[in-house]
């Protein structure tokens, strides 16, 4: 039986132990090489002039020969104006990369010895980097599409209604036990809260033969309807592709543009002919484990950020730790300033939910 990739030596090409043993100078050189390469001439992040700018050792930065302004490794990036030591930033990114179902900001704040709000913003900046570097080219070949409900899950009533007639048979069958009897329904206030926080995460996954899905895109919507399905068809899938969905009528229009196959999930997970959308279900499994086991709840305003994180983890599941770490670091250096989290604690907030419909 082949070994799982996460258990292989190839996956473990770097470790937190190794990163913690690196000196500040070694970490600085590692990040500098990723951002500027090995050359002595580097670009000024202020004016763009490429030259051998003098290095200011005390401030761990450079002074541009042309505009005379100082700049550092984090200037002009999502980490601009950050006061977090480089060692702690690398540690947080490592934890972010290696947690299969995500990691809570509480745990990160404890391990990195930073305030909770610092850990929370750093992790959301990483999610922003992922969202802004998504491959938006059209998917081809076999594509799986589905929608899943997330958020808005208040508890049911406290007491078990064992005295009601419709539950009497269940109670008798269980010989007096109450573990199998349903609780009474949720209150009207809880039901309204559930509707207010409930959203649909739409996932589109391109399938590679014998490898599973190799590309994932996610969207947030208020419902799994025809308008959402047409938006996905237009912006994500190339005409003529083989698209597999469930039996939802929202996808009826796909017959006009794609080879459309469906599976009726109320009866089966896969048809006798092998028609399924298991790659979409696989993504939902990871996102649901993140919601239930890591974050415990997802606010509607930030649900798309968590969905993008899980999509990235799915696509990079067969990459080594070092490859994932380098990918996130390099991407964070090339997307510019943070659009959503720079000045968050000073009141600059992203107010919309980024819904597609």
Q: First-to-last CA distance in the chain?
A: 45
Residues 236 and 334 in one domain: no
Residues 317 and 349 in one domain: yes
Strands 55-56 and 61-63 turn out to be antiparallel
Band (pLDDT 50/70/90 cuts) for residue 297 is confident
CATH number of residue 251's parent domain: 3.30.420
Band (pLDDT 50/70/90 cuts) for residue 299 is confident
Smallest Cα–Cα separation from 102: which of 283, 288, 290, 285? Answer: 290
Residues 275 and 147 in one domain: yes
Whether 23 is in a domain gets the answer: no
Residues 212 and 340 in one domain: no
Whether 265 is in a domain gets the answer: yes
Whether 177 is in a domain gets the answer: yes
Residues 252 and 348 in one domain: no
For 183, the domain range is: 165-196
Residues 146 and 288 in one domain: yes
Whether 78 is in a domain gets the answer: no
pLDDT tens string 169-227: 555 555 545 555 555 566 777 777 777 888 999 999 999 988 899 999 999 999 999 99
Residues 116 and 8 in one domain: yes
Please say whether the beta carbons of 204 and 216 come within 8 A. yes
pTM of the model: 0.89
Q: How many domains does the chain have?
A: 3
pLDDT tens string 225-236: 999 999 999 999
């Amino acid at each position: 039986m082949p070994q799982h990739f996460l258990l292989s030596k190839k996956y473990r090409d770097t470790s937190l132990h190794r990163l913690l043993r690196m000196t500040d100078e070694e970490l600085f050189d590692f990040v500098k090489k990723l951002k500027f390469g090995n050359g002595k001439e580097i670009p000024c992040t202020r004016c763009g002039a490429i030259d051998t700018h003098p290095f200011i050792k005390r401030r761990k930065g450079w002074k541009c020969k042309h505009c005379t302004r100082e700049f550092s490794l984090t200037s002009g990036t999502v980490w601009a104006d950050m006061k977090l030591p480089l060692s702690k930033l690398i540690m947080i990114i490592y934890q972010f990369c290696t947690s299969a179902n995500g990691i809570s900001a509480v745990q990160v704040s404890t391990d990195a010895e930073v305030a909770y709000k610092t850990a929370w913003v750093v992790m959301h900046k990483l999610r922003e980097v992922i969202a802004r570097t998504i491959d938006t080219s059209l998917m081809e070949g076999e594509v799986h599409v589905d929608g899943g409900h997330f958020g808005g899950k208040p508890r049911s009533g406290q007491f078990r209604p064992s005295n009601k007639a419709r539950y009497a048979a269940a109670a008798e069958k269980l010989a007096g036990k109450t573990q199998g009897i349903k609780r009474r329904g949720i209150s009207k206030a809880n039901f309204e809260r559930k509707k207010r926080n409930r959203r649909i995460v739409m996932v589109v996954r391109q399938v590679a033969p014998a490898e599973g899905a190799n590309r994932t895109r996610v969207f947030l919507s208020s419902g799994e309807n025809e308008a959402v399905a047409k938006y996905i068809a237009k912006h994500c899938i190339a005409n003529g592709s083989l698209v597999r969905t469930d039996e939802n009528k929202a996808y009826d229009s796909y017959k006009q543009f794609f080879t459309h196959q469906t599976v009726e999930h109320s009866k089966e997970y896969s048809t006798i002919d092998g028609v399924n959308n298991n790659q979409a279900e696989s993504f939902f499994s990871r996102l649901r484990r993140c919601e239930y086991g890591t974050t415990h709840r997802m606010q509607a305003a930030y649900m798309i950020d968590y969905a993008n994180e899980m999509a990235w983890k799915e696509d990079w599941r067969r990459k080594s730790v070092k490859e994932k770490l380098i990918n996130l670091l390099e991407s964070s250096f090339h997307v510019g300033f943070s659009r959503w989290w720079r000045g968050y604690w000073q009141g600059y907030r992203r107010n919309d939910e980024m819904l597609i419909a």
